[in-house]
Amino acid sequence: MVLAQFLHSPLHEYMISLRRRIHQYPELGFEEVKTAALVAEELEKMGLEVTTQVARTGVVGVLRGGQPGKVVGLRADMDALRVQDGKENCPYRSRNDGVTHACGHDGHVAMLLGAAKYLSQQREELAGTIKFIFQPAEEEPGGAEPMIAAGVLSNPEVEAMLALHLSNNLPVGKIGLRYGATMAAVDRLSITIHGAGGHGAAPHQTVDAIVVAAQAVTALQTIVSRRLNPAEPAVVTLGTISGGYRHNVIADRVELTGTVRTLSSQVRDQIEQEIDRILAGVCAAYGARAEFELTPVYPATINAEGPTKLMAEVAADLLGAEGVIYEPHASMGGEDFSYFGQVPGGAAYIHVGSKNPAKGFVYPHHHPKFDFDEDALGYGAALMVQWTRRYLLGK
């Protein structure tokens, strides 16, 4: 049984060792130099065709089977977060102050290397080609699009893609999946409000940009609660506000930034129109002026029926039917794997359970104490291997 070769085995220990080395030396987006060097070294040991410095720090390993056939891509993101590691008495705690793997990307790299190691030993049995894609900067500014621009999906052309993401929302030993939109489209919102500054003792001679900004923040919250169809998922979050000079000066300018998350282009367009309408109305009431920009970051991540159905079948075989959880709602988080999902055969983006309260692995992603049950590495790698074999061999 394939799963037994990935759990509590030499291959499992290999993945755990790699994961902990990467966790100790986390690197931010487009700075993954040590991580990329480790990945390239391991892929070369497996005898794969290796390309480095793809979109600066990306790595691609190509495995050609013993017979011609389809081409699939497997992707892992490599970057860490600007978060201080809050784990205590952890032997693999981050040694890079202020940076840690708080989203499981170290595990993603280890799983994909484990899958590559196993599949490289089976190459003569495989019909087709596998591209192992190790991507930088998923946490923004985004490494998928520049890797695609560099040609990672061409020569030979990738037909279908798969990515796994560890999830502390799911118990270890289970996976979560859904068809269609599974992650939201992400837009970055920037607002500047212009007033007329002056002395804090003479407010009647000014247009207070801070007061206008406060009204705007409140009004913008009504877009989702009062202007959109309640059945349409959407988020409008304002994350920063900056303005003013000192305690006795009325500000003439305030800048706000935020994020907008949607699952459909129609809702996205409506939110943009509502932002424009609200800012114009609030500013007119106070004699101020506003300008804003809604900048696309990532499109929605869409799970195509074919690759997703295949993963559901593979997971049911490996984990049992009870191990497959069909997620009722899309996440409003964003993922630049969405760009890889535009290949001809579509893509599947799957959550692999990594939560284990008995071992203390309960903290959510991006939390300073985030960690996961390393048994999830075995489950994830086995799922990738079986999905790939089934896709290429059709069995």
- As a whole number of angstroms, the distance between CA 306 and CA 238 comes to 37
Asked if residues 118 and 308 have their Cβ atoms less than 8 Å apart, the reply is no
Proportion of the chain in helix, strand, coil states, percent, rounded to 5: 35, 30, 35
The dihedral built from the CA positions of residue 26, 375, 43 and 159, taken in this order, carries a sign that is negative
- Please identify which of the residues 31, 85, 106, 138 carries the catalytic annotation: 138
Which residues, in sequence order, are bridge partners of residue 128?
A: none
79 flagged as catalytic: yes
Query: What does the longest C-alpha to C-alpha distance in the chain come to?
Result: 82
* Cα-based torsion angle of the residue sequence 330, 331, 333, 338 in order, rounded to the nearest 10 degrees: -40
Which residues, in sequence order, are bridge partners of residue 152?
A: none
- As a whole number of angstroms, the distance between CA 340 and CA 57 comes to 17
317 flagged as catalytic: no
What angle separates helix 10-24 from helix 33-45, to the nearest 10 degrees? 160
- Please identify which of the residues 27, 31, 79, 336 carries the catalytic annotation: 79
Nearest to 114 by CA among 33, 39, 35: 39
Active-site annotation, residues? 79, 138
